[in-house]
Amino acid sequence: MDLKKYIGFTIEDYLHDDDFLRYVINPSEEDLVFWTRFVNNNPSRAVIIQSASKLISTYRKQETFYNEKSQQAVFERISSTINASKSKKLNVFRLGYVQKIAASFFLFLLAGVMFYLYASKVHQDTEFGHVKTILLPDSSVVILNGNSKIVYARNFRDGIREVWLTGEGLFKVKHINNDPGNIKPMEKFIVHSSDLNIEVLGTTFNVKNRRNKTSVGLISGKIQISYPDLVQSKTKNIVLTPGDYLQHGKNVKTVLQRLADPEKLTLWVNHHLAFKNPTIKEIALVLEDELGYQVRIENDSISTYRIEGEINVSDVNDLFRIISDTHHIRVLQEDKTITIKH
């Protein structure tokens, strides 16, 4: 330290000087020697030095807040937080501030897109036991069986006509192609089910998409079946002719049959319950899927019982009577629960 430096110092200068501050707050041996010598050599500066030092030391006489009584408690809280975060940190994906903003923005956007997609589609569905006729914008007609649903684009007429079906529906598709040798993609009508796609020009057919299985019966016209899943797409697309009945599903082998009387597929339209050589199990599934019943079959052997011949009834009670008469089994109904037993 330079003795000469301090000769002209004012109180303010001293307050700005780091070495002087150290001397007042926490003097080293060297500091004490230096400042004692300085005051001895320059007695006229003593008052200023004293004033500066007094100002600092008086200011420093402040009440302290050490909060010692909480020292241990706060530490215990810290270590329990650390332990808690240790155990969960492994599987917590932490996001930074910017990432958080980006993520919430993205979610917001996603919600908007999803809402748009939802709002841009028309949803039509039916309750158990109800049949509903829907006129599509291109004046094709869909008759929906009970517990079924179709979804199609609001701007249905522009571009390919596409309908997504769950449940059962009878389609009467309007023919808009005038030149069968030159089919434009815009003239197609496609029905999507969970298991297959049906490409149509103009025709009437019945589609039943229930329990991961789709059955298509063609009544008139011509349709082509394709499969959306990769494995099945190796199998060739199939073109159906009237009377063809195709069944395809996730865990079911594709079956193609000929129907003697394809019109029977449409009997449900008039609230008819129609079956041909059905098993009790098949009847039970229809009761559950279309009419919303809960069917309990007491033992497995009963469900394999077959009723020979055709059933064509419009009332469920008639159906129950036929079942109980043919096999001498009892059909008990309690609200929406049906129990079939010996």
Partner 1 sequence: MIIIWTLNEDNDINLLCSSIINVMAFNSVSDYSMNPDTWVSFKSGNWNAYVELYNTHFKILNNYGHKFTNNTELIEDAVHDLFVELWSKRTKLGNPISVRNYLYKSLRNLLFRKMEKQKRFVLVGENADYPFHFEASSDTIFIENESEQILQSKIKTVIQSLPSRQQEIIYLRFYEGLDYEEIADIMGLNKTSAYKLLYKAINKLQENVKAGDLFVFLTLLLLKKSSLVIN
**What is the smallest separation between the CB atom of 249 and partner 1, expressed in angstroms?**
53
Token digits for 170?
């009878």
- Among 8, 29, 61, 97, interactor with partner 1 by CB under 8 A: 61
Which residues sit opposite 225 in a β-bridge? 198, 238
- Among 29, 44, 59, 97, interactor with partner 1 by CB under 8 A: 59
Q: With residue 33 as reference, give the H or E element that holds it.
A: helix 29-41
Alpha helices in 182-247 (DSSP H): 230-233
Choose the binding region for partner 1 from 49-57, 178-186, 217-225, 289-297 (rule: CB under 8 A).
49-57
Instruction: Say whether residue 39 binds partner 1 (CB under 8 A).
Output: no
Token digits for 6?
């301090």
- Among 2, 29, 68, 308, interactor with partner 1 by CB under 8 A: 68
Looking at residue 236, what DSSP letter applies? P
Please name the residue that has the structure tokens 């994906």.
Answer: 93
With respect to partner 1, which residue has the nearer C-beta, 46 or 332?
46
Total chain residues near partner 1 (CB under 8 A): 37
Label residue 109 exposed, middle or buried (CB < 10 Å: 0-12, 13-18, 19+).
exposed
Query: C-alpha distances in angstroms, 264 versus 59, 62, 66, 216, 260?
Result: 103, 100, 92, 13, 9
Instruction: Say whether residue 1 binds partner 1 (CB under 8 A).
Output: no
Instruction: Say whether residue 97 binds partner 1 (CB under 8 A).
Output: no
Choose the binding region for partner 1 from 76-84, 108-116, 186-194, 219-227 (rule: CB under 8 A).
76-84
Residues at the site binding partner 1, with contacts judged by CB under 8 A = 11-12, 15-16, 18, 21-22, 25-26, 46-47, 50-51, 54-56, 58-68, 70-72, 74-75, 77-78, 81-82, 85
